[in-house]
């Protein structure tokens, strides 16, 4: 293939996001030994691995909305999962109270296009705001996964002489539905976190996630091989990251570490990479998913707008974040509001709706592992640590020592020895809510909730829906 041959000589680098769904950082370069991940490890060795990267949400569409703008989803009003959609999976939901970005806020692909880049996406564009795909992408293939860069898909549609900005979305932790997924994980090597019972069903679910990691690594290898074949590898900077954690409870849809701590690798495969992307480098400073956007623009020499809340991780004058923030709001039909602050040593969560259990009705309820956990809790078979997540009510505040308690099982909020730490984290969160004008402090519109009600029907059991039904 000769179409792209001159790319390797261009001054502007190609920027490629390998955006993985539902995946924790359970990879060799992050210290796991359960399944080999040679291709992801290769990226890590060729660039920078960030060990404390956190997405601003624990579920896909708010997370994607934040990353694609470089702004917190709570700032731009895109914090509720699956918003601004009059149609969803072929079903008309009614007239949604559509969310429009301010005119000054452009998406990252739009900024790359303005700078002369060719832009493409292979995968989801589930952003919680109204947009026109043709404004963002020269090529949009909504089907997940790498297609092999042929027939105009991926970078193969890029005209000669142009650099590209591309997004390839891999199914990642959602490969559990793939009948061809190879089961490679040795169950005896699986470690079950203390907040789950060590039961064969739970053990198998965790093993399944490792199988998904192995499958994803193979897909990453295919992408790298194809870039090499097309003589593009030496001029392509690769970002590899996920939108949030795996599908087990306390992970996906939640903002404990398992829910929003993600892998993040920035790799420049050139033998003479720029000084800012040093090979085989490990960063332990706190990173937010919105920093991916700012860093991508900087590597392409594209000016970062003033309102963008992300930081260029490679800036000469880089100042590490003192904290990162995450938010949980409505997920599908379940209305909630949780905010999390993570500092270097502590994790702080505030539950704004303490009258509602953590495990409100949600899409996982029909799975074998959720059925098991519900049954074990009802039968009194969960220990104190495991049953805390199934309580009818939640505490207003949670505080965890992440060094001593990385699984976040010992709530220190009521411990007088940590009163000053609690006060400081409470102050950080309150200031952030005020300064960013966190939109979660305002109720979702009746029009928006009516749309959710039209889509999900009897699954909508929160009191907000009951009020709508009476009108």
pLDDT in tens, 403-445: 999 999 999 999 999 999 999 999 999 999 999 999 999 999 9
Name the percent of the chain lying above pLDDT 70: 94
Domain 5-318 sits in CATH at 3.40.720.10
Q: pLDDT averaged over the chain?
A: 92
pLDDT of residue 2: 29
CATH topology of domain 327-470: Arylsulfatase, C-terminal domain (3.30.1120)
pLDDT of residue 324: 98
pLDDT score, position 7 = 34
- pLDDT at position 131 is 93
Please determine, for residue 33, whether its predicted confidence score (pLDDT) is greater than 70: yes
Tell me what pLDDT residue 96 has.
Answer: 75
- pLDDT tens, position by position, 332-383: 999 999 999 999 999 999 999 999 999 999 999 989 999 999 999 999 999 9
Domain boundaries, the chain: 5-318, 327-470
Provide the pLDDT confidence category of residue 97 given band limits of 50, 70 and 90: confident
Confidence of residue 10 (pLDDT cuts 50, 70, 90): very low
The predicted structure's pLDDT at residue 90:
62
What pLDDT is recorded for position 419?
Answer: 98
Q: Find the mean pLDDT for residues 147-166.
A: 91
Q: What percent of the chain has pLDDT over 90?
A: 82
Higher pLDDT: 6 or 172? It is: 172
Query: What would the 3-class secondary structure string for the chain be?
Result: CCCCHHHHHCCCCEEEEEEECCCCCCCHHHCCCCCCCHHHHHHHHCEEEEEEEECCECCHHHHHHHHHHCCCCCCCCCCCCCCCCCEECCEECCCCCCCCCCCCCCCHHHHHHHCCCEEEEECCCCCCCCCCHHHHCCEEECCCCCCCCCCCCHHHHCCCCCCEEEEEEECHHHHHHCCCCCCCCCHHHCCCCCCCCCCHHHHHHHHHHHHHHHHHHHHHHHHHHHHHHCCCHHHEEEEEEECCCCCCCCCCCCCCHHHHEEEEEEEECCCCCCCCCCCCEEECCEEECCHHHHHHHHHCCCCCCCCCCCCCCCCCCCCCECCEEEEECCECCECCCEEEEECCCEEEEEECCCCCCCCCCCHHHHCHHHHHHHHHHHCCCCCHHHHHHHCCCCCCEEEEECCCCCCCCCCCCCCHHHHHHHHHHHHHHHHHHHHHCCHHHCCCCHHHHHHHHHHHHHHCCCHHHHHHHHC
Instruction: Quote the pLDDT of residue 274.
Output: 53
């Amino acid at each position: 293939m000769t179409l792209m041959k001159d790319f390797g000589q261009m001054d502007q680098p190609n920027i490629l996001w390998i955006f993985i769904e539902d995946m924790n950082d359970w990879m060799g370069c992050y210290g796991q030994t359960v399944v080999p991940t040679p291709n992801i490890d290769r990226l890590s060795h060729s660039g920078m691995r960030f060990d404390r990267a956190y997405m601003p949400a624990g579920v896909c569409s708010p997370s994607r909305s934040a990353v694609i703008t470089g702004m917190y989803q709570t700032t731009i009003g895109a914090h509720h999962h699956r918003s601004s959609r009059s149609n969803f999976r072929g079903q008309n939901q009614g007239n949604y109270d559509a969310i429009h970005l301010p005119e000054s806020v452009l998406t990252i692909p739009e900024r790359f296009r303005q700078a002369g880049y060719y832009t493409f996406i292979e995968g989801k564009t589930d952003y919680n705001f109204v947009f026109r795909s043709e404004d963002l992408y020269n090529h949009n293939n909504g089907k997940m996964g790498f297609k092999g860069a042929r027939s105009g898909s991926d970078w193969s549609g890029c005209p000669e002489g142009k650099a590209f900005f591309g997004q390839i979305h891999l199914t990642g932790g959602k490969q559990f539905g793939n009948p061809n997924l190879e089961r490679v994980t040795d169950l005896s090597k699986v470690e079950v976190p203390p907040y789950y019972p060590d039961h064969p069903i739970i053990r198998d679910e965790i093993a399944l996630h490792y199988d998904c990691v192995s499958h994803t690594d193979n897909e990453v290898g295919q992408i790298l091989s194809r870039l090499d074949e097309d003589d593009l590898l030496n001029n392509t900077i690769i970002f590899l990251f996920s939108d949030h954690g795996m599908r087990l409870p306390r992970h996906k849809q939640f903002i404990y570490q398992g829910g929003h701590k993600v892998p993040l690798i920035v790799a420049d495969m050139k033998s003479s990479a720029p000084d800012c992307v040093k090979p085989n480098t490990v960063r332990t400073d706190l990173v937010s998913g919105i920093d991916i956007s700012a860093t991508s623009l900087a590597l392409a020499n594209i000016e970062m707008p003033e309102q963008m809340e992300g930081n260029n991780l490679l800036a000469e004058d880089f100042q590490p974040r003192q904290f990162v923030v995450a938010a949980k709001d409505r997920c599908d039909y379940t209305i909630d509001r949780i905010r999390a602050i993570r500092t270097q040593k502590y994790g702080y969560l505030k539950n704004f709706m303490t009258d509602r259990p953590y495990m409100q009705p949600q899409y996982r309820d029909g799975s074998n592992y959720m059925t098991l956990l519900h049954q074990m809790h009802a039968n009194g078979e969960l220990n104190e640590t495991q049953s805390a997540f199934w309580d009818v009510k939640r505490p207003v505040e949670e505080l965890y020592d992440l060094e001593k308690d990385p699984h976040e099982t010992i709530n220190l909020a009521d411990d007088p020895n940590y009163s000053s730490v609690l006060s400081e984290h409470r102050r950080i969160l309150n200031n952030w809510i005020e300064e960013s004008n966190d939109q979660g402090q305002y109720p979702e519109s009746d029009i928006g909730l009516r749309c959710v009600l039209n889509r999900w029907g009897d699954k909508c059991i929160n009191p907000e829906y009951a009020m709508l039904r009476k009108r």
